[in-house]
Amino acid sequence: MPSTHSLSDPKAYHILSYGTLLGATVFQTFFGGPLAYKALPRAQFSTLQTAIFPPFFTLQTVLPAVLALTFPGDRIAGTAIRSNSGFFGLLADANTWSALAPIAVMFGTSIVNLLYFGPATTKVMKQRKHQETRDGRKYNELPKSPEMQKLNSSFGRLHGISSLSNVVALAAMIFYGFALAEKL
């Protein structure tokens, strides 16, 4: 049974934040999104993703900040004392590549998705739906109007970059997991 001391230990919040971040990202990337795409009609899938992505990207942005603030640092041999912990511990030269870089990548990719790629993709998706009404055919029906071709291209590019950004963040999370395991 954990002691009440764990409640005030930043390391506990670090592990919980890391686990939540990795778990949510793996679930949404490989299970939630793909299964919803297969199971739902396009309109309902779009509505679901439009509702899920802002809180998902917010979670992906906030949790790396929590990781930075609760960074466990290094245990001083033979003691329970840690050095280079917390945000300023990330800035220590020894932690640049093993902790600072992956946490910065996680934060950076997520904030870009939250503030730019997510909203831009949603905007183009809505424009594409309106263009379907104007054209009298779905986005993937031939012949496609020049406007629809532009919107499809824009949507594909934005969605692709957002997805790639998410995969880069996931790679950084996994890399950091191995670095974190060495500190425990």
pLDDT of residue 82: 73
Is residue 45 very low, low, confident or very high in pLDDT (cuts 50, 70, 90)? Answer: very high
Q: Is 80 exceeded by the pLDDT of residue 5?
A: no
pLDDT of residue 4: 72
Note the pLDDT tens digit of each residue in 82-124: 778 889 989 999 999 999 999 999 999 999 999 999 999 999 9
Tokens, residue 120: 């831009």
CB 80 within 8 A of CB 34: no
Note the pLDDT tens digit of each residue in 113-124: 999 999 999 999
| pTM greater than the 0.75 cutoff | yes
CA Rg value for the chain: 21
